[in-house]
Amino acid sequence: MNAHPRDIESQTAKAAANDAFVTVLPGGLCHLDMAVEGMHCAGCMRKVEKAVGALPGVTLARVNLTEKRLAVEWTGNDVSPQGVSETLRGVGFDGHPFDPAVTGKKSTEDKRLLKAMAVAGFAAMNIMLLSISVWSGNVSDITPETRDLFHWISALIAIPAVAYSGQPFFESAIRALKARTLNMDVPISLAVLLALVASVLQTLRSAEDAYFDSAVMLLFFL
Last residue of a domain, one of 60, 85, 102: 102
Q: CA nearest 16: which of 98, 74, 88?
A: 74
β-strands 30-37, 22-24: how paired?
antiparallel
Asked if pLDDT for residue 165 goes beyond 90, the answer is yes
Q: What's residue 105's pLDDT?
A: 59
Last residue of a domain, one of 70, 102, 134: 102
pTM: 0.65
Q: What's residue 14's pLDDT?
A: 46
Render pLDDT for 21-69 as a digit per residue (tens, 0 to 9). Answer: 888 887 778 899 998 887 877 888 888 999 999 999 899 999 988 888 8
Instruction: Give me the number of domains the chain comprises.
Output: 2
Can you state the percent helix, strand and coil of the chain, rounding each to 5?
60, 15, 25
Quick one: 129 and 216 in the same domain? yes
Q: Describe the crossing of helices 104-138 and 144-165 by its angle, rounded to 10 degrees.
A: 170
Render pLDDT for 101-149 as a digit per residue (tens, 0 to 9). Answer: 655 556 677 788 899 999 999 999 999 999 988 888 877 778 889 999 9
Q: What's residue 135's pLDDT?
A: 85
Quick one: 182 and 81 in the same domain? no
Q: What's residue 17's pLDDT?
A: 44
Quick one: 83 and 173 in the same domain? no
Question: Between residues 203 and 136, which one has the greater pLDDT?
Answer: 203
Quick one: 129 and 91 in the same domain? no
Residues contacting residue 27 through CB under 8 Å, at least 6 positions apart: 9
Q: What's residue 19's pLDDT?
A: 66
Quick one: 121 and 64 in the same domain? no
Last residue of a domain, one of 54, 79, 102: 102
Question: Between residues 5 and 56, which one has the greater pLDDT?
Answer: 56
Quick one: 94 and 176 in the same domain? no
| Phi-psi map region of 25: left, alpha, beta (phi>0 left; psi -120 to 50 alpha) | beta
Quick one: 216 and 109 in the same domain? yes
pLDDT, averaged across the chain: 84
Segment 82-94 mean pLDDT: 88
List the CATH number of the domain containing 88: 3.30.70.100
Segment 9-15 mean pLDDT: 48
Q: Which domain holds residue 132?
A: 104-221
Per-residue confidence band for 155, with pLDDT thresholds at 50, 70 and 90: very high
Of all residues in the chain, the percent with pLDDT exceeding 90 is 39
Q: CA nearest 179: which of 41, 38, 3, 13?
A: 38
Quick one: 39 and 55 in the same domain? yes
Of all residues in the chain, the percent with pLDDT exceeding 70 is 87
Segment 170-192 mean pLDDT: 88
Asked if pLDDT for residue 191 goes beyond 70, the answer is yes
Asked if pLDDT for residue 6 goes beyond 70, the answer is no
